[in-house]
Structure 1
Amino acid sequence: MVAQALVETRQQEMGRQGEDLACRYLEGQGLVVLSRNWTCRDGELDVVAVEGDRLVVCEVKTRSGPAWGRPDEAVDERKLSRLRRTALRWLASHGVGWCNVRVDLISVTWPPSGEPRLQHLRGA
């Protein structure tokens, strides 16, 4: 039980570090981060940013290696549909009328003894 809790804590920390890296990357690309880890009954949005007049919802997946598959493999059509619904809830909760929304995927591979690699898939 304790070992599993330690593994979960390490995974959560790696996920947080991956999201931190993703936000720095997005800001370096000129996007403005509006929200992180926003939740509602439909789900969670890892990162909500704006690029010009477009809202960009980013799902961030971080892995330490290939044991659990590539990070982007964790996002299927069902997950994308949930992200879209949750983005609509974000818009409503922030009093934003209709706007152009794009869902992106940021995959971070961060091996224990190496530098992280980030891939940004726009319009997932």
Structure 2
Amino acid sequence: MATHNDLGQKGEAMAKAHMEATGYEIMDENWVFGKAEIDLIAYKAGVIIFTEVKTRTGNAFGEPEDFVDARKQRLLVEAADEYIYLMNHQGEVRFDIISILFDRNNNHTLKHIEDAFWPSAY
């Protein structure tokens, strides 16, 4: 497996542990619809949270969260729409990003950005 895939899986495991430790219930991981994959789908206080995890080993080209561009957001929203339909969820939804940045010494910074973007569909 490629190193970047290992890094991504490590980041997703860290993000899941962070969410569980802060009171979120993880409903699904790596949920796929069409061309989109939602890394983590969580539930807390009546809200479904669709979470994109971005893990990087440097920020020379931008912060990890900067890589959730408009195209990626559209794909996430399409997948979220299908998930909401399948779950018959009538409550609120939210789109979060968890950004994990590693330095050269393998230390990391985890940033949980709630309401990272708000699609016009909602």
If the TM-score is normalised by the length of the shorter chain, which range does it land in? 0.7 to 0.9
More helix by share: 1
Matched-pair contact (CA < 8 Å) for 1:107–1:120: yes
In the alignment, is the contact (CA less than 8 A) between 1:71 and 1:109 conserved in 2? Answer: yes
Please report how far the alpha carbon of residue 88 of structure 1 lies from its aligned counterpart in structure 2 after TM superposition.
1.2
Q: Which amino acid in the other structure matches residue 60 of structure 1?
A: V
User: Which of 88, 91, 116 is the equivalent residue of 2:84?
Assistant: 91
The aligned counterpart of 2:92 is 100
- Identity among equivalent positions (%) equals 29
2:69 is the alignment partner of 1:76:
yes
Alpha-carbon deviation of 1:115?
1.6
> How many Å apart are 1:112 and its aligned residue?
4.2
Q: Gapped runs of 5+ residues in structure 2?
A: 117-122
1:37-58 CA-to-partner distances (Å, cap 9, x unmatched) read: 0101141100000011000000
- Please give the secondary structure, in 2, of the residue aligned with 1:66: coil
Unaligned runs of 5+ in 1: 1-5
**SS, match of residue 23 in structure 1:** helix
- CA radius of gyration, larger in: 1
Deviations 1:77-99 (A, max 9, x none): 33222212211111223x32322
- For 2:43, give the aligned amino acid: V
Counterpart pick for 2:33 among 40, 43, 50: 40
3-state SS in 2 of match to 1:82: helix
